[in-house]
């Protein structure tokens, strides 16, 4: 009696996940053909991971990096069938399989999160209704670049490289803004906690300088509205020049 088709599918998927030192075929199909198919599947998945996490790849030794990819292919059950979502699925795998990361650097997961932020920003749609903020006053609405994301980390993820691998967490949270500039290039800016709070407010809704200063003063009673206004006016001018704060048609 032949097996149900769904059972054959499950067995074939499990066979594809496996990595064997001595290649064996699947069912009655010629082993050479199935081996080629398996290698192509693995190569495509690994290529997406390599391109999506280039810094992570460079900061790990090759043996650990290859093992991490093999574990992902063998163990993760993806929720999306799209190749373009492999990077996000890899991040989900790191979340779900924390026990596998014990032999890896403590900052690995945060670096992967940061690199995924960069990819999301790179492919975000910067709508044509936004334009550079050439000038503003106290009543001008400030629009945060819609591609912008603010991340909060324990490690200085934007600084990690093959030549810099932090050995401990920072004493205070590390805030970083990632956004797409007017030329479509991904940029990052390290932030202090006050600026990160202000950008979080602007991400929820546009505010002018006066409104923003008043909203900040509710959470920062040690500063006067005038101090907050003066401080963020200078930041707003810089961020307008960098295409972080925009005008809207």
pLDDT digits (tens, 9 = 90+) for 102-160: 889 999 999 999 999 999 999 999 888 899 999 999 999 999 999 999 999 999 999 99
Q: Which helix (H) or strand (E) holds 13?
A: helix 5-17
Q: To the nearest whole number, what is the mean pLDDT of the chain?
A: 89
> What tokens appear for 139 in the block?
């009543």
pLDDT for residue 7: 63
Segment 18-32 mean pLDDT: 58
Considering the chain, what percentage of its residues have pLDDT values greater than 90?
A: 71
- Fold of the domain spanning 126-249: Outer Surface Protein A; domain 3 (3.90.930)
Burial class (CB in 10 A: 0-12, 13-18, 19+), 63: exposed
Segment 87-98 mean pLDDT: 93
Q: What are the tens digits of pLDDT across the range 175-188?
A: 999 999 999 999 99
pLDDT for residue 21: 46
* Residue pair 130/123 in contact by the 8 Å Cβ criterion: no
**How far apart are alpha carbons 172 and 162 in whole angstroms?**
23
Q: What are the tens digits of pLDDT across the range 28-70?
A: 556 666 677 777 778 888 999 999 999 999 999 999 999 999 8
Dihedral angle computed from the Cα positions of residues 103, 63, 161 and 53, in that order, rounded to the nearest 10 degrees: -100
DSSP 19-48: --SS----TTS-HHHHHHHHHHHHHHHHHH
Query: Does the pLDDT value for residue 14 go beyond 50?
Result: yes
Domain 1-104 has CATH 1.10.150.690: yes
Considering the chain, what percentage of its residues have pLDDT values greater than 70?
A: 86
pLDDT for residue 160: 98
Segment 223-247 mean pLDDT: 97
pLDDT for residue 56: 97
Find where tokens 């599918």 sit: 9
Domain coordinates of the chain in residue numbers?
1-104, 126-249
Query: Please, which contacts does 19-22 make with residues 24 or more away whose CB atoms are closer than 8 Å?
Result: 19/70, 19/73, 19/74
Burial class (CB in 10 A: 0-12, 13-18, 19+), 114: buried
pLDDT level of residue 167 (50, 70, 90 thresholds): very high
pLDDT for residue 81: 82
Query: Does the pLDDT value for residue 72 go beyond 70?
Result: yes
Predicted model pTM: 0.87
Q: Estimate the share of the chain in helix, then strand, then coil, as percent rounded to the nearest 5.
A: 55, 10, 35
Q: How do beta strands 245-248 and 186-191 pair?
A: unpaired
Distance of CA 226 to the CA centre of its chain: 36
């Amino acid at each position: 009696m032949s097996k149900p088709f769904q059972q054959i599918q499950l067995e074939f998927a499990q066979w594809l996940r496996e990595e064997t030192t001595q290649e064996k075929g699947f069912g009655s199909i010629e082993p050479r053909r199935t081996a080629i198919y398996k290698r192509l599947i693995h190569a495509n998945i690994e290529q997406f991971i390599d391109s999506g996490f280039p810094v992570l790849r460079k900061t790990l030794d090759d043996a650990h990096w290859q093992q991490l990819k093999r574990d992902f292919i063998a163990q993760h059950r993806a929720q999306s069938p799209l190749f373009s979502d492999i990077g996000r699925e890899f991040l989900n795998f790191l979340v779900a399989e924390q026990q596998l990361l014990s032999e890896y650097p403590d900052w690995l997961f945060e670096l992967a999160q940061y690199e995924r932020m960069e990819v999301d920003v790179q492919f975000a749609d910067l709508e044509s209704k936004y334009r550079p903020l050439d000038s503003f006053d106290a009543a001008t609405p400030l629009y945060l670049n819609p591609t912008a994301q603010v991340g909060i980390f324990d490690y200085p993820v934007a600084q990690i490289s093959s030549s810099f691998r932090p050995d401990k967490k920072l004493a205070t949270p590390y805030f970083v803004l990632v956004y797409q500039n007017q030329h479509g290039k991904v940029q990052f800016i390290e932030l202090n906690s006050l600026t990160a709070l202000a950008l979080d407010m602007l991400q929820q809704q546009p505010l002018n300088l006066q409104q923003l200063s008043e909203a900040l003063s509710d959470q920062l009673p040690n500063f006067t509205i005038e101090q907050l206004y003066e401080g963020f006016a200078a930041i707003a001018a810089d961020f307008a020049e960098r295409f972080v704060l925009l005008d809207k048609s």
